[in-house]
Amino acid sequence: MRKAFPIFAALLAAMLCLTSGCGQRSAPAPAEPSPEPPAVSPIPNPPKEEPEDRDQPVVEPGPVDGLLGETELAFFNEIYFNNEAVPLRNQFLSSTYESPADIDLYQLFYNGTGEDVSEAERETVIREGYSGDCPDTDLTKCSAGAMDAALERSMDLTLEETNRVGLDSFVHLPAYDAYYDFHGDTNVRPHVDIAAGERKDGLVHLYYEDAFFADGWKCVTLRLGEGGEYKFVSNVPCGPADVPGA
């Protein structure tokens, strides 16, 4: 029995070692996943700044004297004139004048300035400006403020600074500070074709054959204002021989 004790003790020690994990390496704990970097939103491209006025000149100033190139002629044909965003500009060719003050205001503002007319205004115009029955046509209105804005934009002068050519053809209502006219037709110039142009003495001269009035060639002269927009100086008849490059 004494010889068996050491063997029994060894077996007991081995069993205790197995149950307690003696001599074994513990498996390493799984590594914590490293946090992903926060998503970075792409920086959007800055919006392109739109010009405040899309009908400003897009051609660089050229020489003082010389013919206009194709790019400049395209600007006057497609942006300065024949531009639906500024429909009144073609109307500055509806009469001939040697100075801005002599433009025919009745022809210029014949189609009104797009302002609404109240029933009270209509009745007052009929009472003060017409005799007999009410005209069965549209009544156009041009307030002095709207006329001033158009003239200042394109000629650098106000209504009071003009020679008031044609203004008496309107009915004026001082109470509304506006000018009115009954008519059912129109003198809208839908298109002008600038055939040639030149710079001379600091001015731009544009030549076109007047298909609207069918009365031959004319020359409209413009100057570049301080704000970068062309202003009307004159619109006068000319002959085919006056057209440069013809």
pTM, 2 dp: 0.74
CA distance 69 to 84: 24
Pick the closest to residue 224 from 101, 27, 64 (CA basis).
64
pLDDT at 69: 94
Tens-level pLDDT at each residue, the chain (246 residues): 444 444 444 444 444 444 444 444 444 444 555 555 444 333 334 343 344 444 554 455 555 689 999 999 999 999 999 998 777 999 999 999 999 999 999 999 999 999 999 999 999 999 988 765 667 789 999 999 999 999 999 999 999 999 999 999 999 999 999 999 999 889 999 899 999 999 999 999 999 999 999 999 999 999 999 888 999 999 999 999 999 987
pLDDT at 36: 53
pLDDT at 184: 87
pLDDT at 50: 40
Mean pLDDT value across the chain: 81
DSSP state of 239: -
Question: Residue type for 138, please?
Answer: D
Pick the closest to residue 175 from 112, 128, 111 (CA basis).
128
Cβ partners under 8 Å of residue 17, min gap 6? 23
Do the beta carbons of residue 231 and residue 154 sit within 8 Å? yes
CA distance 147 to 91: 13
Rg, C-alpha atoms of the chain: 42
E strands of the chain, at which residues?
A: 66-67, 139-143, 171-173, 178-182, 194-200, 203-209, 217-224, 230-237
Residue pLDDT, tens place only, 44-95: 343 433 444 445 544 555 556 899 999 999 999 999 999 987 779 999 999 9
Do the beta carbons of residue 106 and residue 162 sit within 8 Å? no
Give the strands of the sheet with 217-224, arranged side by side.
66-67, 194-200, 203-209, 217-224, 230-237
pLDDT at 32: 54
